[in-house]
Chains A and B, each alone.
Chain A
């Protein structure tokens, strides 16, 4: 079973700053099927990035996904008040199909 470890657990930043969120997999992910989600309190998650670096529909280019192998990163530039939320990474394996989520990074206003 692949385990995803996100760091840091909590990130305290101010609006206007940039954020770097990490997601490390316990095994190599050759397919790069990694997605990132944003979740606000009381809401369902919203997809931001899929296939490691492709922005989902309607996601501004301030959000950038990168990485390969075991290390993946979500970078958010010029933080806006609406960006403060919890972020999850997720991987997909195909043989057999399985999905794993990271434990989440909370992005809070400093």
Chain B
């Protein structure tokens, strides 16, 4: 059974960099059948796609976040990582990683991690 687990610092200061890791078990991130994605949800608000990484297509991110987002993969650890630079309070959210099919839907989600941006 595929499982995803987000981890990282739950508190980040404004202007600093948010860094999260998604540990994947029960499946390989090198698959060409699926992509691996990040989404977030500010408290009390809706979902927002952050970006997705594909084994043979590279990485794509939400244009509204594009210049601040980096999504990478560590094959040796079977992990996906997210970094978001120059954060502000508006980046406070629950961050989810997920496995996405080639039609873009999330069939598997991590439990999510709340990251608060505050001094």
Contacts and interface: CB of A to CB of B under 8 A. Distances in A.
Nearest to B52: A97
13 contacts: A1-B63, A45-B106, A45-B109, A47-B106, A50-B103, A50-B105, A56-B107, A90-B47, A97-B52, A99-B39, A99-B49, A100-B49, A101-B47
Interface string B76-119: 00000000000000000000100011011111011110000000
Contacts of A56: 107
B46 to A, nearest CB: 5
Interface of B: 35, 37, 39, 46-49, 52, 54, 57, 60, 62-63, 96, 100-101, 103-107, 109-112
Mostly helix, strand, loop or mixed at chain A's interface? strand
A104 B107 contact: no
Interface of A: 1, 31, 33, 35, 37, 44-47, 50-51, 56, 88, 90-93, 96-104
Contacts of A44: 96, 109-112
Contact of A102 (B46, B103, B107): B46
Contacts of A90: 47, 104-106
Contacts of B100: 99
Nearest to A94: B104
Given A33-B105, A47-B106, A90-B105, 7 more contacts: A1-B63, A47-B107, A51-B105, A97-B57, A99-B37, A99-B52, A103-B46
A35 B105 contact: yes
A104 B45 CA distance: 9
A37 B103 contact: no
Contacts of A47: 105-107
A44 B105 CA distance: 14
Given A35-B104, A44-B109, A98 B60 contact: yes
Contacts of B49: 98-101
Contacts of B112: 44
Contacts of B47: 37, 45, 88, 90, 101, 104
A105 to B, nearest CB: 10
